[in-house]
Amino acid sequence: ETISKGNHAHFMRKEIFEQPLVVAQTLQSYVRAFDGEVAIPTADFDLSQVDRVTMVACGTSYYAGMVGKYWIERFARVPVDIDVASEFRYRDPVLEKGGLALFISQSGETADTLAALRHARAEGQKIAVVVNVPTSSMAREADLLLPTRAGPEIGVASTKAFTCQLAVLAALAVNLARARGRITADEEREIVSHLTEAPEAMARAIEHDDDIKAMAPLIAPARDVLYLGRGPDYPMALEGALKLKEISYIHAEGYAAGEMKHGPIALIDDAVPVIVLAPSGPLFDKTVSNMQEVSARGGKIILISDAEGIAAAGEGCVATIEMPSVHELIAPLVYAVPVQLLAYHVAVWKGTDVDQPRNLAKSVTVE
Ligand code: G6P
């Protein structure tokens, strides 16, 4: 079956727009509609016995894992160790017998991730995988298969597979939290109800497509772009920078907002756009002080926040992108949309090959 772009100019745009649907589809396979609980297909797996998780992935899938680490530690209070596959497989990691090793991959074929999986198995780990291709090598070699239901992803730069990975990791975090006795059934239902609001909130984020397109000329001439975030929005800053690099060929860095003073602040001048991902919440004021440090040096800020955040800190920014107000658990799913659209429109403005960026492959099956 040939997959068409429909009425979209590129597969990437089509895949960004599909996200509310495929994230809903993915969530439906984990959330039991009748009682609002999360059900992971655990088979012979006892999640209550998991007291450490080792996560391994590459590229965008690695950033999904970083968000998952925040959630699993926050909700289930299980420590998570995370590494990129090419480091993990050669660093002789300490893996205690019976631990859970979780591999995240759109293709299920990335050579480094697959080699890391085999290493973990040889070291006595239980193997769980979050993959989008159910017939892939990783899916076949797993003890626990946690599929994403993104459908085939054609654009080389991952978008919908990423947000579906986030949905699965959120479901896993909630399930682990219950299995470990960290949340009550009522708390679980409340968290799950926020999670099921994600597709609708993502659809509202997509409505900003035209506004974001209008911002492309602000970014396109830049040589360097900085993305800042805190908490789970720190990996989202890393992902935003990766997307921009991949398809627009502009150098971009993602940084933990509080770490900026230890280096990237030296780069800031009026030629460096700074994209700040900051939903309102307990860390918001801290990020606002980082924004002031950027403004004082002439940096041009694009603030991605909700109405409350924009009202509090939008003044002085060159542009703002208003996201719906959402529970902190689903913010990364929603904030993924504007960073993807921003990278997309900058790339289109520059005239690059959006779906097939130079030097990159959809699936890297060699080391
Ligand atoms: C390549 C792709 C990325 C992807 C990464 C990991 O670099 O261009 O979009 O994130 O591989 O791929 P995987 O299939 O393992 O998620």
**ipTM associated with this complex:** 0.98
Distances (CA, A) of 185 to 114, 188, 279, 361: 36, 5, 27, 44
The Cα–Cα gap between 296 and 287 comes to 14
Average pLDDT value for residue range 74-102: 94
Q: What DSSP state is assigned to residue 74?
A: I
> The whole model's pTM is what?
0.96
Q: What DSSP state is assigned to residue 86?
A: H
Centre of ligand 1 from the C-alpha of residue 364, in Å: 7
**pLDDT value at 15 more than 60:** yes
Residue 313 CA from chain centroid, whole number: 25
Using most ligand atoms within 8 A of CB, pick from 246, 364, 365, 367 the residue to mutate for ligand 1: 364
Using most ligand atoms within 8 A of CB, pick from 60, 83, 117 the residue to mutate for ligand 1: 60
pLDDT in tens, 114-133: 999 999 999 999 999 999 99
Centre of ligand 1 from the C-alpha of residue 188, in Å: 32
Residue 2 CA from chain centroid, whole number: 28
- Tracing tokens 């039991």 back to the chain, one arrives at 32
Atom of ligand 1 nearest to the CA of 157: 9
Q: Which residues form ligand 1's pocket by a CB distance below 6 Å?
A: 58-61, 105-107, 110, 113, 156-158, 360, 362-364
Q: Active-site residue 362, yes or no?
A: yes
Centre of ligand 1 from the C-alpha of residue 7, in Å: 26
Average per-residue pLDDT in the chain? 93
Percent of the chain at pLDDT above 70?
97
Q: Residue 361: helix, strand or coil by DSSP?
A: coil
Burial class (CB in 10 A: 0-12, 13-18, 19+), 364: middle
Please give the structure tokens belonging to residue 191.
């968290």
Please report the DSSP string for 205-257 in residue order: HHTTHHHHHHHHHHHTT-SEEEEEE-TTHHHHHHHHHHHHHHHH--EEEEEEG
The Cα–Cα gap between 64 and 235 comes to 8
Centre of ligand 1 from the C-alpha of residue 110, in Å: 7
Residue nearest to atom 2 of ligand 1 (CA): 362
Please give the structure tokens belonging to residue 329.
């658990």
pLDDT in tens, 175-186: 999 999 999 989
Burial class (CB in 10 A: 0-12, 13-18, 19+), 3: exposed
Going by their DSSP bridges, the two strands 31-32 and 37-38 should be labelled as antiparallel
